[in-house]
């Protein structure tokens, strides 16, 4: 398996830190819960979901942590404006995050640590103390504590930045003059009146942690000093992940992350989808337009994670069509298996299932190529089925293959249609009537089936049942 590592800017062979253990530790930066996440954020979570599921298909046991940033400038401002306590303000967006993630079938991480949990605040305070002791951090006149980037020679390596080019990041407090270097970032932000009752005691006075130290502390607490994979969107590379490396390695002296994977942005009209630009949609926005979570999952999944993806309604319709082709294909295969060869003797066409889908994912998660193979296979098998040349053993083999790749894709229809017993029985009776060319009875039975809410169509593959009203 190979991945593009942002750190080296190269495709690298994947080998976890402890290969024999068969486990992979994975940290993925989660939502900042100051508003409902938009589907751009979910592109990142879906890419991470694909990565986890593919690692699992390849038999790794993935230990995944996704943090919840529930204290930062934006959450504090939101709580203040809503005139509610911070925890109450963030709770609604945490819930919304899980609700939306479930709709998109994103597998839950093993842990979702929240930054305000006392356990992690203590760890953050410990780490900051350690960084000060090592000369890597200092308390400035404004009482905040900053990381001293000049003392960490590797600072800038992940982002491939020259220190002299550093600009202010916007996520630090505004009084830049207290800092030794414009690129020094806040580890601990001294309390001020705007923070209200959001504060924790520390050796440097009351305050709250900076955003970057939250992830270092939560990752190290739950996954140890060194982890295999760390992900996020490309906007996380600098300063967030660069700062995480400086903090974690500054404390331990050990390499923090083996593989850094970042996904390109979801765009709208060529621009990043972002709250600040107002060009965003949430999951409920998309569902309100009549699309399903599955369709949105597919739309966000189908393009290689390192390629920017433009969000359009046309793209949503294409996704719907692609899924329709998968559904129809699965329906035909299942039908053949159900009938068996006894009823439908066919020439024994060997299935030609290739391992291409999985090898494409081994190649830096090349989902576009993987889906290409899937649709090629669908075309081929459909042709064989059209010519009545696919036997039930082959159909079973294709379904088994689908079940395997679907552990990664998770694209089965929303609800499996369950046909009531009574309807099945009437359909069987109708089949018999048709064999006997008793058309009157056949029509009567059709009406009875219809009265029970089902539509029966006669196709060259036999009768097809659909719930009335469904297309
Ligand atoms: P945030 O809640 O801003 O910390 O972002 C959560 C995750 O979403 C991070 O991994 C970001 O890099 C990612 N992200 C934000 N905007 C986009 C976008 N338009 N496309 C893809 N990922 C994004
Ligand atoms: Zn993070």
Please work out whether the CB of residue 235 comes within 6 Å of at least one atom of ligand 1.
yes
Does 237 sit in the ligand 1 pocket, CB within 6 Å? no
pTM of the model: 0.86
Whether ligand 1 lies within 6 angstroms of the CB of 280 is answered as: no
Q: How far is the CA of 81 from the centre of ligand 1 (A)?
A: 24
* CA dihedral for 403, 373, 366, 11, sign (positive or negative): positive
Q: Is the dihedral of CA 139, 196, 198, 149 positive or negative?
A: negative
| Predicted local distance difference test score (pLDDT) of residue 340 | 83
Nearest CA to ligand 1 atom 10: 232
Kindly give the parts of the chain with pLDDT less than 50: 172, 175, 345, 471
Ligand 1 center to residue 32 CA distance, Å?
Answer: 9
Of 32, 50, 123, nearest to 86 by C-alpha is 32
**CB 33 near ligand 1, within 6 Å:** no
Protein residue with its CA nearest to atom 15 in ligand 1 = 41
Q: Which ligand is nearest to the CA of 115?
A: 2
| 219 touches ligand 1 (CB under 6 Å) | no
**Ligand 1 atom with minimal separation from the 235 CA:** 12
Tokens of 454: 């089902």
Tell me the two tokens of residue 106: 């994103």
Q: How far apart are the CA of 185 and the centre of ligand 1, in A? A: 20
pLDDT of residue 377: 95
Distance 227 CA to ligand 2 centre (A): 14
- Residue 62 φ then ψ, to 5°: -95, 125
Confirm if 36 and 76 have CB atoms less than 8 A apart: no
CA dihedral 16, 22, 23, 28 (to 10 degrees): 50
Ligand nearest to the CA of 244: 2
Evaluate: CB of 29 within 6 angstroms of ligand 1.
yes
Cα 108 to ligand 1 centre (Å): 18
């Amino acid at each position: 398996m190979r991945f593009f590592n942002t750190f080296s800017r190269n495709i690298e062979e994947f080998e976890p830190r402890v290969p024999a253990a068969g486990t992979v530790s994975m940290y993925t930066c989660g939502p900042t819960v100051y508003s409902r996440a938009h589907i751009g954020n979910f592109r990142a979570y879906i890419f991470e979901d694909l990565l986890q599921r593919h690692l699992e298909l390849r038999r790794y046991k993935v230990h995944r942590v996704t943090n919840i940033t529930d204290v930062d400038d934006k959450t504090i401002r939101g709580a203040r404006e809503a005139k509610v306590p911070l925890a109450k303000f963030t709770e609604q967006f945490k819930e919304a995050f899980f609700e939306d993630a479930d709709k998109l079938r994103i597998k839950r991480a093993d842990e979702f640590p929240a930054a305000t949990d006392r356990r992690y605040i203590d760890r953050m305070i410990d780490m900051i103390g350690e960084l000060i002791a090592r000369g890597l951090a200092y308390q400035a006149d404004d009482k905040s504590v900053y990381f001293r980037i000049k003392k960490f020679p590797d600072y800038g390596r992940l982002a491939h930045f020259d220190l002299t080019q550093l600009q202010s990041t916007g996520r630090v407090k505004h009084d830049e003059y207290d800092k030794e270097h414009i690129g020094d970032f806040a580890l601990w932000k001294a309390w001020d009146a705007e923070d209200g009752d959001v504060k924790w005691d520390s050796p440097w006075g009351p305050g709250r942690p900076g955003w970057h130290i939250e992830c270092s502390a939560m990752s190290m607490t739950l996954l140890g000093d060194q982890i295999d994979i760390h992900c996020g969107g490309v906007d996380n590379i600098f300063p967030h992940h660069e700062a995480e490396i400086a903090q974690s390695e500054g404390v331990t002296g050990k390499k923090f992350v083996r593989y850094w994977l970042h996904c390109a942005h979801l765009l709208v009209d060529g621009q990043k989808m972002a709250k600040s630009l107002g060009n965003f949609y949430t999951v409920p926005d998309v569902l309100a337009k009549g699309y399903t979570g599955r369709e949105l999952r597919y739309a966000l999944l189908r393009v290689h994670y390192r390629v920017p993806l433009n969000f359009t309604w046309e793209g949503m319709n294409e996704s719907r069509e692609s899924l329709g082709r998968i559904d129809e294909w699965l329906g035909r295969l299942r039908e053949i298996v159900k009938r068996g060869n006894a009823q439908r003797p066919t020439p024994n066409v060997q299935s030609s299932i290739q391992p291409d889908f999985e090898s494409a994912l081994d190649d830096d998660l090349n989902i576009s190529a993987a889906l290409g193979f899937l649709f090629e296979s669908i075309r081929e098998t459909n042709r064989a089925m059209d010519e009545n040349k696919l036997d039930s053993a082959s159909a079973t083999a294709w379904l088994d293959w689908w079940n395997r790749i679907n552990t990664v894709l998770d694209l089965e229809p929303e609800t499996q249609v369950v046909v009531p017993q009574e309807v099945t029985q009437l359909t069987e009776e109708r089949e018999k009537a048709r064999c006997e060319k008793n058309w009157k009875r056949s029509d009567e039975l059709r009406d009875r089936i219809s009265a029970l809410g089902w539509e029966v169509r006669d196709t060259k593959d036999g009768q097809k049942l659909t719930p009335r009203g469904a297309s």
